[in-house]
Structure 1
Amino acid sequence: MALTNLQGPALLRPEPELWSLAGEELADCGGVLDLALPKARAEVLACGFASTAHQRDKTACEVSLALGGLRKTLRVSGDRQWTPEHGCTPPLAFERMRLGWDLAYGGEGCADNPLGRGMPGAGEAPAGPQALPNIEYPQWPTRPGEEGRAAGFGPLQADWPCRLRLLGDGHAEMGGQGFAEDCDAGFFNMAPPDQRFDQDHLPPGAAFEIRNMHPSQACQQGRLPDWRARCLVLRQQDGEERCELLDLRPTTLWLFPHREQMVLVYHAAVPIAEDDAHDVLALMPALESAGQPRGLEHYQQVWRQRSDKERGALHAFRDADLLPAEALGAWFDTEVPAFEHPQFKRREAQRQQLQAQRQARVGERADMPADLPPSSLPPPRLDELPAFYDQVHAQAMALKSDALARAEAARQQPSAQHIQQAPEKGPEGIRRMRRLLEENAAAQPQQWSGERLAHSQDLLHRLYLRAALAQEAAERLPQEQARELREQVEERLRTTRDLSGLDLTGADLSGLDLRGACLRQALLEGADLSRCVLDAGDCREAMLARADLTGASLRGAQLEGASLAQAFGEGADFHEACLDGALFGEVRFQRCDFSAARLHSTELERVILIDCLFDGASLDNLAISEALLQGCRFQQAQLHKLTWRDCRLVDLDFSQASLAHCAWIGSPALRPDFSGASLRKCAFPQASLERAVFAGTLLEQCSFRGGQLAGAYFRHARLRLTDFSEACLRGADFDDCDASGCLFIRSDLGEASLLAADLIEALLGKARLPGADFSRANLFRADLSQVRLDGRTRFDGAYWARTRGVPPEVTRQEARA
């Protein structure tokens, strides 16, 4: 489908505008522009208004459309009535009138227009005033007592008798499994018959004319864009990927004169090996200018670029690869010049200021170049992203190569200026930067307010928290220094209990009672906090990287924004602690208690959690990657927007938990238990969940597509609109479950048990069912078409009403492979 303008050079508009137009202009028929199947006869439709703005008579006008050799004219009158006493009243004046079927001839019982007016009830004479149609054919005006003709430019709705009868006499018996043999292809046309051509495509480049359907233009004229629609089809054939380039026919023209826009619809058909097109891997549509064809090689190259996992996103916005360059209309990425972007303006102003300062000091050092490097490149337009990326990548590689060369030269020719210093450890770097910051503030007090200095110090501290894993660990304090520091802490605990901001790196605080103490932004990297009691303590933004938390109690502690990178411990208690935004990189916890704790908006990367408790915890917006979780329990926990990526999950217990919008990506889970849990809109794409337990679980709109769920247990589960397509469910137990509306397309249900399962409207097309037991299952309106059975498949006592596929009389003896 292509949305473009009526007049002037044809410019494509973006797809969101197309669907917005359809929703607004075609609300009466659900926003449907087409039924997708190719049409034997091309057609033209128009939606809009009749306008009297271009004539003196405001009570009636004629509207018309013409395309190629097709022309149609309608007469539109103001509101009129027919009364037994006075006959037809004069039409009322109007400025514009919507050309809807409710204003044309018809009414209840009219096959051509059930929505219309002017048609009396069967065997009835109008007892009072009767509204007459506003829209008529000029040659067939409506007269009371005579049968009229429905007149309009718009679509005939699919459920009107005039279209339904085209489905054929055998349609009802087909049960939705295809079209009847006597189906008339005219059903797929939406336009009235007098708006259809005697050929299957619109006249290429045909001229059109529209009259009295625009408030300021009496006549709108133009030509159809001379475009050629193509489509690259990728399919699986004989174990190989094959490409084919299709030519599409322009079959349908939608006109929206009052909006000065039109929509062109193109069709094509291609044979498929599977009735659900499972052999088709992808479709890539394109448009060409008629005189500028592109070959199969071009589209194959575009597909390879766009499907590349690393760079495909860069090429996805290059519309010119699939569309005529001259047809690309302005949109958000082209309407605003890149150089006017505020961010670019700010960077350029800063560069010019630094340039001026640099030139003022250039005489101080002979080796200082007078000019700064060019400013960063302006933001590229979306279609320039691939070239921009290549340019920036090449510059980065050149800079890296130059830096490596200079480093190697410095290593081979050491000098006092290039002596390599030992890497900074622990808080050494932040101490140095704080000193520089304070010296700079003291030297320029007019530029450094107390608020600015405090803000900068906060930023330095947060930088330290995030850089913990990128630097070497701080060393443990010597015994005497550790003893003195512990005594200082004990003294504060006897007075203010305020340890905020203190540098306690490597300190031995084991066994201390720190309940309610304030350790906000305290530096505790590598500290020994084993057996400490930090209940209700304020540890916000504290540095706890590599700390020993064995046996520590942090019940109800505030740990928002704290860094626990590479922290470790066994038996630590975080009950009801708040860990929002905390940093957990590479932590190692065993038998720790996080029950009723709160973990929001953070990442757990390469963590190891063994036998930890998260019962009743609130976990929201977490990204867990490359982690090992074994024997952990999440009973009655609230999990929202969790992503498990490349994790190893063993014996996790989610019973009675609530999970929403969670995803398991590349994270096999062995024997997970979801008994009594509720899962809403969760995704397990191709996940391995063998021997998973979902007893009594509620699953709503979840996806296990392509997953490995052999031996999974779904007894008494409620599975609502859940997708198990192409999943391995061999030996799974679905007894007494409610799987209404679920998808099992191409699933492997071999040896599975579905005793008394509710499978109303479930889709099991092409599923493998050898040895499966559907005894007493409810298969009302289920789809079992083309399923694979064997002599062990059982349907004893199953309910078959309106089921597709396996006939109702099937028995165990009749089932066959």
Structure 2
Amino acid sequence: MKSQNALHFSVPLMAMMLLLVLPSGLLSAADSLDVSRLREGSEAWNARRAAETGFVPDLSGADLKGRKFRGFDLHGARLAGADLGQSDLSGANLSGACLDSSNCQGTLLDGAVLKGASLRGSTLDGVVLEGADCSGADFSGADLRRAECSKAGFRGANLQNAHFREASLRSVDFSGADLRGAYLWRAVLDGAVLMGVKVSDTTVLESGRYADAAWAAANGAVSMAELIVPTAVAAHASSQDQTRRVTASGGKKEGNSRVNSVLNLWRRTGPVDAPYDAAQFEMVKSDWREWNRLRRQNPSMRVNLTEARYDHKNLAQINLQGADLQKASLRGTDFSQSDLRGADLRGANLSEATLVDVDLAGADLRGAKLWRANMSRTRLNRAKVSAATILDSGKPATGEWALKHGALYMAD
């Protein structure tokens, strides 16, 4: 019986891994003619856009990594799922463009116009948006860690659940922007305009504290109650939204088809002789960047890694927010700069793990073992601990320790 189960699992898992290594061009939905026209240069491209007012470039999923598009007129373009990593789009016009789930890691977008553009769930780690006009744009769920956004305009932008950790936000205009659920830990906000921004008790400030009514009043912001949407409803809404986008694009999906295929595969694949999801376990272990992208695009996905063994693995910068890691073996694991907010780590073994700059806010650490773990600059706001929690010192957690670190001391 076990061999049949193993066979049942191995086939879809191999298919999933094959999808991950296939060149993105093979799964691209981009119009090859539109891609080839880009090579003509900005002057010819912009002249065509001016002459053909109905021309809407379809570059969805295209591999445009490391290319130069300075000053290109890409307003309204379809760039969902495109790879623009390390490309130069300085001064480009991307107003109203769709860049959902795109890769803009390290991309130059200084002085670019992104008014009303959609970048939901996009990877913008290390992007340069200095002086860019992002007013009214949708960056919900986008990864903007270490982004250079000085003097950019995010007026009225949707920044819900956007990740701005260690980003430079000097003199940024956030007037009227929606920052509910946004993550600003260690971002630099010197001179930023926050008048009228929406925040909630899930907004993480640059200090690591959560936004509250007092902070909002002091900064001219608006404190709003967080609307909790049941997972089933959120999943249904996401499915409906995807259906609408497919219909609107004439049957072609906007977004990363590789990721969508993997998601569908995950829904068919379950754990085999293990309490954790085997496909999730393998992906976390093999490709953290693809995993993080998947989490951004499917935030309501349940992560089941109960009793998983990642001893001495490198899981730095991974997104395991809300993951079920009960009784997981994580001895000596490197979680540097990882997001473990709200994770269930009850009974997990984190002895000698590297937890430098890790966010454990709201995580459940009751019964967890943290002996000799490196907890330098670890964020523990509202993390749950108990007498059964063994600290890095080897001593059990106490109410006094919890109070000092902003954690919650609870009975087992």
Q: Does the TM-score normalized on the shorter chain lie above 0.5?
A: no
TM range (shorter): 0.3 to 0.5
Which structure has the greater CA radius of gyration?
1
Higher relative contact order by CA 8 Å / sep ≥ 6: 1 or 2? Answer: 2
Q: Which structure is higher in strand share? A: 1
TM-score, normalised by the number of residues in structure 1 = 0.22
